[in-house]
Structure 1
Amino acid sequence: MTLMLERPTISGTKHPGFEGLLDTLDELNVPAGYKAEIIKGNIVLSPWSKGYYTRVMKLVCDQLEPYLPEGHLISQAPQLFVFPGVERAYGPDIHAAHEQTYETTGNHLHGEGLSFVAELTSSSTRDNDLTDKVKAYGKADVPVYLALDMQEEQATILWTPSAKGYESRLTVPFGEKLSIPEPFDCPLDTAGFRAPKKP
């Protein structure tokens, strides 16, 4: 098993398999300020978002909420979604799913209930957000994935999930409008997604 913070650190233990990783994740004492996910057969710890990411996540949620499919909820609450078919467990920054997905006393939610996910990249998560998660969310049949590249200040919407990831994608710079496809079929204004100016 590999436990990753900012830089990979090999733990030296025998690989326990996906279910074993989920058990380890449950028992893990995650340091304050970090979240834990399972990516590429490893438990990966990444730091919580920068302060202004909260503003961006709220803007996304507020704009999409009126267009949610019936019975779906959208949230930026920390939740772990499990994708056994691709052996991944992610805590997306924003997630929309049918309300029944959240009706559990467990802390592992079923990824197949998702209708939308969004990830806001950081320097430590950017590579996984733009590569591994694109493939895994698409293979898991999540209809829409929004990747907000906070370093390059651009938004990429991915849809038409397939075994390769996603068949369709469109990228625009922050400040432009982006069309969110079905099941939302609505515009997303990316004005207000940029970082605050440094004093």
Structure 2
Amino acid sequence: MTAMAHEPTPTQEELLLESFLALETPEGFKAELIEGEIIVSPAPDGDHEDVIELIVAQMYDHSKVRMQYSGNKGLRLPSGGRCPRNHVVPDGTFAPRELRLFRGAPSWMTPDGIALVIEVTSTGPDGDRVAKRHCYARAGIPLYLLVDRSRGMVTLHSDRVGEDYGDAHSTAFGKEVPLPAPFSFVLETADFT
């Protein structure tokens, strides 16, 4: 009698990732896998989208390096250990246009070459404040801009140190936020309210 080969049993983390990737979200919703938790978010309100548009317009008008923008790009990021990979969809992703990172990229791309991601808080502000910040730092994304609508603050996270950012420059809506290279301009926030 010969022994039958057995396929390895998938781990809980592998099953979670497989379930996430097979998930069909309702139209207008987005799904993310962040630190072992599947998060499904409804479509954002108009004020959320207005803030993003204000940022994008300033990036195109004032950035010292021509930028490419995506508001719906899935990023496959390293995990903190609770799942094989995080799958995050930032509210905004910027990369130098010359890199053409989004052309031909798969639905879930690696963050190589991304200069900045933005999040504008809505239904899950704590996730934007902590979990996503750690995901972006761990992935090597140099700058993370958080527009915290419930607190009326804008925070630029920079100087990555391991799984977090070593510097956080926060200011109230209405104040200016200096953006370092490759952007090298001052972001106006007066209209964020």
Matched, 1:38 2:33: yes
Deviation at 1:16, TM superposition (A): 3.7
Question: Hey, what's the Cα distance between the residues in 1 that align with 2:45 and 2:180?
Answer: 28
- Aligned residues of 1:101 and 1:110 also touching (Cα < 8 A): no
Structure 2 length as normaliser, TM-score?
0.83
Could you tell me which residue of structure 1 aligns to residue 8 of structure 2?
none
Matched, 1:67 2:63: yes
Deviation at 1:150, TM superposition (A): 0.9
SS at 2:65's partner residue? coil
Number of aligned positions between the proteins: 177
Q: Give unpaired runs (5+ residues) of structure 2.
A: 1-10
Cα deviation code 1:160-180 (max 9, x no counterpart): 112031011111111111111
Q: Give unpaired runs (5+ residues) of structure 1.
A: 1-13, 195-199
Letter in 2 for 1:188: L
Specify whether residues 21 and 96 from structure 1 end up closer, same or farther in structure 2 by C-alpha distance, changes over 3 A only: farther
Could you tell me which residue of structure 2 aligns to residue 100 of structure 1?
100
SS at 2:68's partner residue? strand
- Aligned residues of 2:28 and 2:43 also touching (Cα < 8 A): yes
Could you tell me which residue of structure 1 aligns to residue 12 of structure 2?
15
Deviation at 1:36, TM superposition (A): 0.6
Question: Hey, what's the Cα distance between the residues in 2 that align with 1:112 and 1:125?
Answer: 26
- Aligned residues of 2:13 and 2:36 also touching (Cα < 8 A): no
Deviation at 1:91, TM superposition (A): 0.4
Deviation at 1:114, TM superposition (A): 1.2
Letter in 1 for 2:63: Y
Question: Hey, what's the Cα distance between the residues in 2 that align with 1:130 and 1:105?
Answer: 27
Question: Hey, what's the Cα distance between the residues in 2 that align with 1:137 and 1:63?
Answer: 22
Deviation at 1:113, TM superposition (A): 2.6
Question: Hey, what's the Cα distance between the residues in 2 that align with 1:22 and 1:146?
Answer: 27
Question: Hey, what's the Cα distance between the residues in 1 that align with 2:29 and 2:104?
Answer: 24
Specify whether residues 105 and 149 from structure 1 end up closer, same or farther in structure 2 by C-alpha distance, changes over 3 A only: closer
Could you tell me which residue of structure 1 aligns to residue 6 of structure 2?
none
Identity in percent: 27
SS at 1:73's partner residue? strand
Question: Hey, what's the Cα distance between the residues in 1 that align with 2:185 and 2:26?
Answer: 38
Deviation at 1:186, TM superposition (A): 1.1
Matched, 1:81 2:79: no
Provide the alpha-carbon RMSD of the alignment: 2.1
Q: Which structure carries more relative contact order (alpha carbon 8 Å, separation 6+)?
A: 2
Question: Hey, what's the Cα distance between the residues in 1 that align with 2:20 and 2:55?
Answer: 29
- Aligned residues of 1:37 and 1:89 also touching (Cα < 8 A): yes
